[in-house]
Chain A
């Protein structure tokens, strides 16, 4: 086949090329923007939030949002059953959600990549044992497994994060293993071996950097899944414990007011929805931007 060459004088840099493909997807750009806003709010929560998340104002229990009848502008999204400002709690809650996402993703990426790299590089019996264990983890409904783990470890935010990391692990292991297996037989790896590179060098310096693109995409998606799982655990009373302003926990506390005060349930739910949606959109954009590169090289 005739190769059609691009008529560029200077080839675009990696970042410019990445942005070119990423910005083609409108959803991804919107997702990125929303995510950056949430990130900003979380970091500067102390300055942005109108109230403290834990101070209870006995005079304004279950105050409706500002635009509803009887609402006040100082409590823009209303207050909960013990008189805490919902907007402030949501802003502080973003800290927890993002923190959970970061910790869970780092934990599962580091351990998953390591295990997958070992399985894909050494193959044979090591591979079989690792993959069967991963199959067992995958066979459990993920939330159920997380619940069981938290029940064993004891409820709390840290234990919830460990449990969610373990549930996420098999995806990273499988993805890494598949990528390592295709890269391992390529000529450049053999050339490195012929040059005398040892096992560790081959694994971490030669093969691993070439497997990163699909992992980055998976990590983004795992980030949103982690937020969702943490919220679910919080809702079931197994995650962050009250009075922590974690979104799932806030939902759980508001359960009994669903009939009387819709805002107590709606806004934490919306916060979760918007964050997860934004990150997922961003992940899709990342996949579009990174995948053609995989095919082209």
Chain B
């Protein structure tokens, strides 16, 4: 089976222009990263700020081109820098962002936000679009009455649901989730993670899930890639990576994650008493 997404040796350099006092220099944001995701699976990309995970997300979503390397979607080679982008390709990959407050256009009603992708990409009639947007609203756990409301009337979790609904309007193959739950409260985070799992089952969606939170990653991922300063230092199935981390950075990362289980608390209190 061809993987939905395959990336080979992706490199992304940024040119930082010089000024009076500084010389121009090149920043290597992503240094040769390769991975593949099969249909219906979730690849989690883990790393801290500045590790290049968001740059990689923009390349996969075809917002920015890679400096070099190959990207294949459904076995088809994509190169937006030289060939541009066909509408069919554009529909295959969609994205959900981290910040629920910046992701929806504040001047548009939810219904218009959801139907915009259809207006651009299809020749559907207005009432067809409306029906489809309504159906999608219900699918992500919102109600029909939310159709005519503006984003500022919604909570963070509800906005993130709308963002997910918008991403799904075009029936994408691949959904890039850029820290979709890290700005949400714990209980809302659980709801959104459940929703993502349900939608994956229903539509056989493929996820690239970007996160810094290892507990979320352990819950949702099939494969895990750990990035550190633009390189993939660890890549394997979830169980491999979590049970037997190879790279020292992965080990540091695991050690730094706070543990909320009773045994660790007992150990800490014992250390403190000693």
Query: In the bound complex, do residue A195 and residue B166 qualify as a contact, i.e. CB atoms below 8 Å apart?
Result: yes
Residues of B within 8 A of A197 (CB): 116, 120
Residues of A within 8 A of B166 (CB): 191, 195
Q: Considering residues A196, A197, A201, which has the most beta carbons from chain B within 10 angstroms of its beta carbon?
A: A196
CB-CB under 8 A for A194 and B152, given A187-B102, A187-B103, A210-B107: no
Query: In the bound complex, do residue B107 and residue A196 qualify as a contact, i.e. CB atoms below 8 Å apart?
Result: no
Q: Considering residues B87, B91, B117, which has the most beta carbons from chain A within 10 angstroms of its beta carbon?
A: B117
- Encode A161-199 as 1/0 by CB contact (under 8 A) with B: 000000000000000000000000011101111111110
Report if A243 contacts B (CB, 8 A): no
Report if B215 contacts A (CB, 8 A): no
Residues of A within 8 A of B105 (CB): 188, 192, 206, 209-210
Selected interface stretch from B31-39, B93-101, B249-257: B93-101
CB-CB under 8 A for A209 and B107, given A188-B102, A197-B116: yes
For A190, the closest partner residue in chain B by CB is B63
**Using a Cβ–Cβ cut-off of 8 Å, how many residues does chain B contribute to the interface with A?**
30
Query: In the bound complex, do residue B120 and residue A196 qualify as a contact, i.e. CB atoms below 8 Å apart?
Result: yes
Residues of A within 8 A of B246 (CB): none
For A294, the closest partner residue in chain B by CB is B106
Report if A296 contacts B (CB, 8 A): yes
Quote the shortest CB–CB distance from B260 to chain A (angstroms). Answer: 22
For A11, the closest partner residue in chain B by CB is B153
Residues of B within 8 A of A209 (CB): 105, 107-108
Tell me whether chain A's interface is mostly helix, strand or loop, or mixed. helix
Query: In the bound complex, do residue A196 and residue B106 qualify as a contact, i.e. CB atoms below 8 Å apart?
Result: no
A/B pair count, beta carbons within 8 Å: 61
Residues of A within 8 A of B108 (CB): 209
**Using a Cβ–Cβ cut-off of 8 Å, how many residues does chain A contribute to the interface with B?**
19
Report if B121 contacts A (CB, 8 A): yes
Query: In the bound complex, do residue A195 and residue B103 qualify as a contact, i.e. CB atoms below 8 Å apart?
Result: no
Residues of A within 8 A of B170 (CB): 195
Quote the shortest CB–CB distance from B77 to chain A (angstroms). Answer: 20
Query: In the bound complex, do residue B107 and residue A194 qualify as a contact, i.e. CB atoms below 8 Å apart?
Result: no
For B149, the closest partner residue in chain A by CB is A11
Q: How far is the CA of A65 from the CA of B246 in the complex (A)?
A: 97
Query: In the bound complex, do residue A196 and residue B91 qualify as a contact, i.e. CB atoms below 8 Å apart?
Result: yes
Report if B192 contacts A (CB, 8 A): no
Report if A297 contacts B (CB, 8 A): yes
For B108, the closest partner residue in chain A by CB is A209
Report if B163 contacts A (CB, 8 A): yes
For B176, the closest partner residue in chain A by CB is A194
Q: How far is the CA of A195 from the CA of B167 in the complex (A)?
A: 8
Query: In the bound complex, do residue B102 and residue A192 qualify as a contact, i.e. CB atoms below 8 Å apart?
Result: no
Residues of A within 8 A of B103 (CB): 187-188, 191
Quote the shortest CB–CB distance from B95 to chain A (angstroms). Answer: 5
- Additional pairs, 20, CB under 8 Å, beyond known A188-B103, A197-B116: A11-B152, A188-B104, A188-B106, A190-B63, A191-B103, A191-B166, A192-B116, A194-B62, A194-B63, A194-B93, A194-B94, A194-B95, A195-B120, A195-B170, A196-B87, A201-B120, A209-B105, A210-B107, A296-B152, A297-B106
Closest 5 CB pairs of A and B: A195-B117, A187-B97, A209-B107, A187-B103, A187-B102
Interface residues of A (CB under 8 A from B): 11, 186-188, 190-198, 201, 206, 209-210, 296-297
